[in-house]
Structure 1
């Protein structure tokens, strides 16, 4: 277990320039091994964006479904989300049993099958089957990607790559919407097939997480992989020391604990249940902000807020997607520069203000429908809403999941987290059309705003600071019941 110390003296004697070059090469290697999971995540964004271009085309005269209505729309949209609610448990199981790397690879299989079925579909049943398969893919990936990136990367680059999850989600949505604006939904489905296919190829050439090897008592392999990924700098060696120390402190009973013992630990130890509760509440509040409702029903929401004749709806949809992508890139930078709590407060407050503005402007437009001046307010509010969502509400929860979830119960905890998040996701997608129709867009946006306010208050009071801290430092701080905010 102590073999990883043997090269410390050599590292200290090397010229500083050589050490920096080695560290730089390891940074690029960390980026490379994360490309597969991130490209697969782009495919998730494409799946989310597909209904935004498919549903409007479904209502054309040439569509094979002649009785498309709000109920059919909601089922087509939510059919991909429903399997996402329970598949995280399988993703967490695979993640613990066969490793993070091969779990990503397996997840790509239903996605490839699903997009092929959608592309060649001639009826509604096959469309829904294909959507269910792509939903299985998303559900399997949910608990795996942030865990893998969090474990495989150093604290300095970890926020950037965890932020890349949200960036690739938004990029996938933009590319799907862009294709669907100019091409048929069948051609768009073939295009979306590329993401799981290419992602699986990159994943094949990636490396397993060293922490998974440690959990499996494969210590020598863990040390070799850790050095391959992270190098042998003083900082990396210190982190490896802490990992090994925590491993030695675990009893053999703990390492081979049953599911019941794992559940018992999760609900009795504050260092395990506290971060999970914070994350579950924050993820659910993010879903009820309307984060995915706008993605799934983009054209309908633009028409409802701006009218059919004000501007080209597809142009506004692409503008919103572009704002999301640019903002997500900015979020990757902000996650390295700002504290997590600061970003949560800025983004959550901005979302709340934008949603209240949308609510008021939509209400006024229902009274004065011909006002050109009032139409500017919802357009600006929608674009600003996408900006604040993309710098905080989308990337921050996934970043925190990669940092806060305790190593001991990471498979179960990440599965429970994704189950709660995707359940909220399904409810939001399924019932949003009902809310918009029966209580009006202005009241619906107020409900979204209240969720944004809840998430902001939650983070301002309970969110611990994880910036520039190793995963073991974060876990130990919860164990000792001390604050990380300093």
Structure 2
């Protein structure tokens, strides 16, 4: 009798633990998805009904064109500044600062953007971001010395962060789940398009005129936001502006059919109100010791492991030359000595990146992250090895393969877009548990930009230290090959994984090698324990006596 009572108590305790765990997971999923709309719709998306959402997302994402223009501008500016007859002459050290200073503003911009988004709203933050953007380009266009150029680049760099974060958040909160991934990926595609525009204008127009024209790409989206689209209903509800939230939803779903007696807008309003109540309840529960709890969470395996992995991942990404070749595209072709028109070649680089960014969305949906990153880094390795060899041949006077470095760089851009350029940015949020996801995302994003700054700053020094462009390309090849080993050893697979499964992975693993087999053994062990528990309960439920 005592053993059966103990067994029953054990089973009840385990069941209670399982129920609590399930409740926690459900609550996490609710919080994670608290900014999503249209959960209630299971019908296929029709263009006509989703058109207002698509328009709103495209207008918000259009600020990414300005981001791409700012990033690529250094590629067309640096050759003019380093020329002997330059209007504004700059040394190689000064041009490295002009190139890289745009990304060093990211940590400050991320903090300012987060505060403004929560205080003033998503769209107002986007519009405010246009102010330093316009001011920066005016300074660049009128610059008479290097300090003016540097300050102008700092302003445009701050504006890019103020534009990217609120645009992504707005799209996340407005687009229905079926459209959200495509709409978010549309932003980087527009940034690639902005790079193409910058390269094209730089090939045919004076750099000062390019600066003046760049102002348009912030003013037009700012005006369209003011005139055409509503603020995020999720943010409006969180601020208690209920009537404005209703109007926003009515605009977003004005083409949606009524479901039963309740309109689509009303159904979404009810859903958002429920999710906001859940969020407020969680905030009240975690108010006491909230920040100290978050800081302690970084010391847990689910905190420090993903942070360490992301640091290494971004280090390999930046020093493999991905962003260096984009920021120094024109200079890169000059130093290779292929003899082609470097400005036209840079246009091909921008077009290649733009086209590959559209293909990348499909790849990320279909294939696993680890496989994509390994293929990407191996492809980058091969391209830089071959390119470095032919660059050395050109340097030694053999120009028979002068076109090979150009082709290799285009293939290098293609292979980088498969995984190494894009996937690290997608992991800045999904690797961390719910309680620290927001803070951890900001930290990892800032860390990535500081590493980008270090990589861009190091380019000139690497050339001097290693002895030329060919050696730098081989250095990039070595880093890319090391990235392959890193991905195989440490990078966890997140494709198709629930956020709770990723969190559990870091509880039990650090090395990715053999993680799947260990997970299978753990699942088998749990099934065996469950069977043993079920067997322990059998005496508690005796079969009824059969009638003789």
Mark the CA change 1:190 to 1:203 in structure 2 (over 3 Å): closer, same or farther: same
Residue in 1 aligned with 2:501?
477
Q: Does 1:33 align with 2:62?
A: no
Residue in 2 aligned with 1:122?
144
**Deviation of the 1:249 alpha carbon:** 7.0
Work out the CA distance in 2 between the residues paired with 1:155 and 1:339: 21
Aligned ranges for residues 87-486 of structure 1 at < 5 Å?
Answer: 87-141=109-163, 143-204=165-226, 205-209=228-232, 212=235, 247=279, 250=282, 252-254=284-286, 258-268=290-300, 270=302, 275-307=306-338, 310-366=339-395, 369-401=396-428, 408-439=435-466, 440-460=468-488, 461-467=490-496, 474-481=498-505
Work out the CA distance in 2 between the residues paired with 1:241 and 1:388: 44
Residue in 2 aligned with 1:8?
none
Mark the CA change 1:35 to 1:42 in structure 2 (over 3 Å): closer, same or farther: same
1:198-219 Cα shifts (integer Å, max 9, x gaps): 2323444545556656776889
Structure ID, larger Rg: 2
SS in 1 for 2:322: coil
Mark the CA change 1:238 to 1:99 in structure 2 (over 3 Å): closer, same or farther: closer
Work out the CA distance in 2 between the residues paired with 1:357 and 1:152: 46
Structure 1 residues not aligned, in runs of 5+ = 3-10
Give yes or no for contact 1:161–1:332 (8 Å, CA) kept in 2.
no
Give yes or no for contact 2:139–2:148 (8 Å, CA) kept in 1.
yes
**Deviation of the 1:168 alpha carbon:** 1.9
Mark the CA change 1:256 to 1:129 in structure 2 (over 3 Å): closer, same or farther: farther
Work out the CA distance in 1 between the residues paired with 2:50 and 2:370: 26
Work out the CA distance in 1 between the residues paired with 2:368 and 2:300: 29
Give yes or no for contact 1:88–1:141 (8 Å, CA) kept in 2.
no
Work out the CA distance in 2 between the residues paired with 1:95 and 1:86: 14
Residue in 2 aligned with 1:52?
75
Give yes or no for contact 1:284–1:420 (8 Å, CA) kept in 2.
no
Mark the CA change 1:373 to 1:166 in structure 2 (over 3 Å): closer, same or farther: farther
Give yes or no for contact 1:165–1:398 (8 Å, CA) kept in 2.
no
Give yes or no for contact 1:359–1:442 (8 Å, CA) kept in 2.
yes
**Deviation of the 1:50 alpha carbon:** 1.0
Work out the CA distance in 1 between the residues paired with 2:143 and 2:251: 45
**Deviation of the 1:384 alpha carbon:** 0.2
Q: 1:84 aligns with which of 85, 106, 113?
A: 106
**Deviation of the 1:290 alpha carbon:** 1.5
Mark the CA change 1:92 to 1:251 in structure 2 (over 3 Å): closer, same or farther: closer
Mark the CA change 1:425 to 1:238 in structure 2 (over 3 Å): closer, same or farther: farther
Give yes or no for contact 1:178–1:318 (8 Å, CA) kept in 2.
yes
Structure 2 residues not aligned, in runs of 5+ = 1-29, 31-39, 257-263, 509-514, 520-548
1:384-410 Cα shifts (integer Å, max 9, x gaps): 011122343333333444655665445
SS in 2 for 1:372: coil
Mark the CA change 1:108 to 1:477 in structure 2 (over 3 Å): closer, same or farther: farther
SS in 2 for 1:81: helix
Q: 2:96 aligns with which of 59, 67, 74?
A: 74
- The TM-score with structure 2 as length reference comes to 0.72
Give yes or no for contact 1:344–1:459 (8 Å, CA) kept in 2.
yes
**Deviation of the 1:266 alpha carbon:** 4.4
Work out the CA distance in 2 between the residues paired with 1:354 and 1:392: 15
Give yes or no for contact 2:100–2:453 (8 Å, CA) kept in 1.
yes
Mark the CA change 1:247 to 1:125 in structure 2 (over 3 Å): closer, same or farther: closer
Mark the CA change 1:403 to 1:325 in structure 2 (over 3 Å): closer, same or farther: same
Provide the aligned C-alpha RMSD in A.
Answer: 3.9
1:15-36 Cα shifts (integer Å, max 9, x gaps): x9xx546x54454344323224
Mark the CA change 1:214 to 1:197 in structure 2 (over 3 Å): closer, same or farther: same
SS in 1 for 2:178: coil
Give yes or no for contact 1:150–1:402 (8 Å, CA) kept in 2.
no
Work out the CA distance in 2 between the residues paired with 1:478 and 1:97: 32
Give yes or no for contact 1:91–1:144 (8 Å, CA) kept in 2.
yes
Please, which moves more after superposition, 455-464 or 350-359?
455-464
1:81-137 Cα shifts (integer Å, max 9, x gaps): 332343222223333444433332222221111112212223322222111111111
Greater length-normalized contact order (CA 8 Å, ≥ 6 residues apart): 1
